[in-house]
Chains A and B, each alone.
Chain A
């Protein structure tokens, strides 16, 4: 198991390296110059000024050299300094990530809770009007973009009813709307998955046996059906987590929350290369680690799943 984890981690190195090259080249390919962008709204800059700043930042060096500088620093754990604020990129990510993590976990928690509950309820009342209603809601959830739901929630609960604050703050209540906006789509996907998976399992012989033993309905579902039905669900949850991290970028903008998404959008707008690269790399690493965690979870849910010690088995 330990070796498996190590192998998996080693195998991610080329992935991370490719991402870094891709991000670096894409950022430098799109039009725009960070130094020009700095002066966009303050009346322009003279040619001397632009040259002076480019030189201070090392932006006048050839691109391959800039990339080598970047990678050698990154290997030492130094992601460089933001072009715009001159603050350490690692520090900026460290300050922003807790907020994004909080939002993602809240969104995921809500999605799992709501999704599993709706899925079970729909499966138990298979083909009833409740089942239809739940699945209709789930279909809506899947097709509704999160930013649109976010704006809708702001309008209804923030402006019309004034139940919850809409823009960010330390107040936990302010987490509610963004978490709902973020988690609703995942909840819908999970609900559909739980429902179909549970319906499938309920037809199995061992369920009939469990019932025949005289076990209560609750026990049958909890001990036998749900546990087996959850394996595909865990896969979906793992995949959704990455989606939620991406979704947080948009939700953070809509709800004006600080976080890695907001940091990334700002960095891209300003062509703040080191910061944008740092954010993308960081999110990629988190995504890889979460997937590894999900794979570990399979064994926890179903002890029959064994881990092989070669990366190929991953």
Chain B
């Protein structure tokens, strides 16, 4: 290496810098505007604005990257299901608008009177992306694989019913029977989840440990092309696809050529990339929406989140929230409608009246439980606290037996904007707050140890019964509230064993009412999933959970 040459180059730069002395002009010539991420590859004559056109690539970022695997048999990550569902078909399909269950890979089914045996008739015209046929053996192979004890029991394992799943039996090539050990009112709905999508058995065997990382083969509208870890996943259209369930707007192959899922975890960067035209759709958050609303090239897509309401849950096992009068007082002190008007919410979401939002119950009807919702009434809150023996101290914070009334919060750092506004509301009735924050792991750990009074909690999922079970069933591992009510357990068990919709929902409502009478928390607001998208993106459908599904999607320009 010629050292003098390197030094000479540096000197030249020095001379340029010092002799120019005038403000240096950037050398880069502005190129033409970067191609919009979603520019269609080949669309000819401009079609009518509302007519779907074929072609184009969309670039999507859901932030949280698929960090485990696309193999749904072991995956535990929701983003993984979101992506894989485009590649894998499911036995059933749920219409997100009304919750009705439609045929997909299964053309019809029968349920035994005891609710334990499901007989599915299957399509005979479906081929996996590797050319192998879909049949009853494929279903059995997939379900058997999910239940294997030497692989991780991920989301799919619990969706099949976990320990209450028995076995799968091939009747003939287009008929399969599934045996359960106990009735599972949600079984048909669970089968519509991408997490229970059917993979090609041949591809799974060939892929071995790399299946779900280097390959993923299903029969869905898009084929897996590649996953560059930490960067992107690319799916391409399957031109053979001709078996879409009737919940969609069209049949035949999808419109888009390609979907690229980009890993952009930081929400500010994600929104910047969307504004710069590098993304077609980005998962956003409420506080970022204000920034996007003024942009004419961007549309805000909102879809009700399937899951519980956002709840300020309370720990019944720790003072002072172990006293129902204190919990009632807290509920009376929080003005839910006022919260939703604050910038942290950007006007998104609806005041909740129950732990389960309206979009999760038949006809959006929560009238059976709404009466137990606690209204904003600070005067009532004060009198309840007086009655419980908490007297206002010199600093405005109540005291009892020399102890200050300070409610201890353990929350994730991301929840801070939606918890801080509560502080003043509680203070107005004489309750102090101590907020401790950390990452998800901190939060889970504190909740599990029941080392908190209040937290902000919710969960996603379309299965109301599972959600009720997870949060409040006295034996549940996810019951982080020290909640134990035999009546609740009884109603929930009846709902889970229910064979008619009426039986299921009557009991579910009774169970929900119990948590509300016990003031297990403040059911604060019904949440929406928030997406920012290019106005060119049309026809996005939503999975029953509220995730975007791109089979019907197309690009208008």
Q: Which residues of A contact B277 (CB under 8 A)?
A: 162
Whether A50 sits at the interface, judged by CB under 8 Å, is yes
Whether B439 sits at the interface, judged by CB under 8 Å, is yes
A155 to B440, CA, bound (A): 29
Known contacts A96-B230, A259-B230, A121 near B14 by CB under 8 Å: yes
Task: Tell me whether B67 and A130 are in contact (CB under 8 A).
Answer: no
Task: Tell me whether B272 and A48 are in contact (CB under 8 A).
Answer: no
Q: Which residues of A contact B152 (CB under 8 A)?
A: 52-53, 56
Q: Which residues of A contact B213 (CB under 8 A)?
A: 85, 87
Known contacts A43-B155, A84-B67, A117-B13, A166 near B444 by CB under 8 Å: no
Known contacts A86-B69, A86-B209, A120-B10, A271 near B17 by CB under 8 Å: no
Q: Which residues of A contact B21 (CB under 8 A)?
A: 130
Q: Give A41 Cβ to nearest chain B Cβ, in Å.
A: 5
Task: Tell me whether A41 and B460 are in contact (CB under 8 A).
Answer: yes
Q: Give B473 Cβ to nearest chain A Cβ, in Å.
A: 11
Task: Tell me whether A159 and B275 are in contact (CB under 8 A).
Answer: yes
Task: Tell me whether B153 and A44 are in contact (CB under 8 A).
Answer: no
Give B449's nearest chain A residue, CB to CB: A31
Interface residues of A in 90-138 (CB under 8 A from B): 92, 95-96, 113, 116-118, 120-121, 124-125, 130
The answer, among A30, A43, A226, A270, for a CB contact under 8 Å with B67, is: A270
Q: Which residues of A contact B502 (CB under 8 A)?
A: none
A30 to B443, CA, bound (A): 12
A296 to B425, CA, bound (A): 65
Q: Which residues of A contact B265 (CB under 8 A)?
A: 253, 256, 262
CB-CB contacts of B75-94 with A at 8 A, as 1s and 0s?
01111010000000000000
CB-CB contacts of B1-41 with A at 8 A, as 1s and 0s?
00010011011011001100100000010110110000000
Q: Which residues of B contact A258 (CB under 8 A)?
A: 228-231, 263
A45 to B448, CA, bound (A): 13
Task: Tell me whether A154 and B64 are in contact (CB under 8 A).
Answer: no
Interface residues of A in 155-175 (CB under 8 A from B): 155, 158-159, 161-168
Task: Tell me whether B7 and A226 are in contact (CB under 8 A).
Answer: yes
A30 to B445, CA, bound (A): 10
Q: Which residues of B contact A124 (CB under 8 A)?
A: 14, 18
Whether B269 sits at the interface, judged by CB under 8 Å, is yes
A118 to B10, CA, bound (A): 9
Known contacts A167-B264, A167-B278, A218-B11, A92 near B157 by CB under 8 Å: no
Task: Tell me whether B31 and A163 are in contact (CB under 8 A).
Answer: yes
Interface-located stretch among A2-10, A32-40, A205-213, A239-247: A32-40
Q: Which residues of B contact A46 (CB under 8 A)?
A: 158, 162, 477
Whether B478 sits at the interface, judged by CB under 8 Å, is yes
The answer, among A30, A41, A56, A120, for a CB contact under 8 Å with B11, is: A120
Q: Give B226 Cβ to nearest chain A Cβ, in Å.
A: 13
The answer, among A44, A159, A163, for a CB contact under 8 Å with B478, is: A44
A117 to B9, CA, bound (A): 9
A135 to B315, CA, bound (A): 57
Q: Which residues of B contact A32 (CB under 8 A)?
A: 439-442, 444-445
Task: Tell me whether B76 and A39 are in contact (CB under 8 A).
Answer: yes
The answer, among A43, A52, A162, A218, for a CB contact under 8 Å with B459, is: A43
Known contacts A159-B272, A162-B34, A163-B31, A40 near B7 by CB under 8 Å: no
> Which range holds the interface residue count of chain A?
35 or more
Give B263's nearest chain A residue, CB to CB: A256
Q: Which residues of B contact A223 (CB under 8 A)?
A: 4
Task: Tell me whether B477 and A45 are in contact (CB under 8 A).
Answer: yes
A-B contact count (CB 8 A): 188
Q: Give B7 Cβ to nearest chain A Cβ, in Å.
A: 5
> Which range holds the interface residue count of chain B?
35 or more
The answer, among A36, A84, A155, for a CB contact under 8 Å with B444, is: A36
Task: Tell me whether A40 and B10 are in contact (CB under 8 A).
Answer: no
Interface residues of B in 395-440 (CB under 8 A from A): 438-440
Q: Which residues of A contact B110 (CB under 8 A)?
A: none
Whether A273 sits at the interface, judged by CB under 8 Å, is no
Interface residues of B in 205-219 (CB under 8 A from A): 209, 213
Interface residues of A in 207-249 (CB under 8 A from B): 218, 221-223, 226-227
Give A174's nearest chain B residue, CB to CB: B278
Interface-centre pick from B14, B152, B157, B278 (highest chain A CB count, 10 A): B14
Give B466's nearest chain A residue, CB to CB: A43
Task: Tell me whether A256 and B273 are in contact (CB under 8 A).
Answer: yes
A271 to B439, CA, bound (A): 11
Q: Which residues of A contact B163 (CB under 8 A)?
A: 48
Whether B320 sits at the interface, judged by CB under 8 Å, is no
Q: Which residues of A contact B478 (CB under 8 A)?
A: 44
Whether B461 sits at the interface, judged by CB under 8 Å, is yes
Whether A255 sits at the interface, judged by CB under 8 Å, is yes
Whether A151 sits at the interface, judged by CB under 8 Å, is yes
CB-CB contacts of B255-283 with A at 8 A, as 1s and 0s?
00000001111101110110111110000
A11 to B100, CA, bound (A): 68
Whether B149 sits at the interface, judged by CB under 8 Å, is yes
A161 to B209, CA, bound (A): 45
The answer, among A36, A42, A162, A256, for a CB contact under 8 Å with B448, is: A36
Task: Tell me whether B470 and A43 are in contact (CB under 8 A).
Answer: yes
Q: Give B442 Cβ to nearest chain A Cβ, in Å.
A: 5
Residues of B within 8 A of A (CB): 4, 7-8, 10-11, 13-14, 17-18, 21, 28, 30-31, 33-34, 64-65, 67-69, 74, 76-79, 81, 149-155, 157-158, 162-163, 209, 213, 228-231, 262-266, 268-270, 272-273, 275-279, 438-442, 444-446, 448, 459-461, 466-467, 470, 477-478
Q: Given contacts A31-B445, A256-B273, A269-B439, could you give 15 more A-B pairs where the C-beta distance is less than 8 Å? A: A33-B441, A36-B441, A40-B440, A40-B444, A47-B477, A50-B477, A52-B149, A92-B229, A95-B229, A116-B14, A130-B18, A154-B269, A165-B278, A166-B276, A222-B8
> 5 tightest A-B contacts by CB?
A32-B441, A258-B230, A31-B445, A44-B478, A256-B264
Q: Can you report 14 residue pairs joining A to B where beta carbons are below 8 Å apart?
A: A38-B77, A42-B77, A44-B478, A84-B67, A96-B229, A113-B13, A121-B18, A154-B269, A158-B276, A163-B31, A221-B11, A222-B8, A223-B4, A269-B441
Residues of A within 8 A of B (CB): 30-33, 36-50, 52-53, 56, 84-87, 92, 95-96, 113, 116-118, 120-121, 124-125, 130, 151, 154-155, 158-159, 161-168, 218, 221-223, 226-227, 253-256, 258-259, 262-263, 266, 269-271
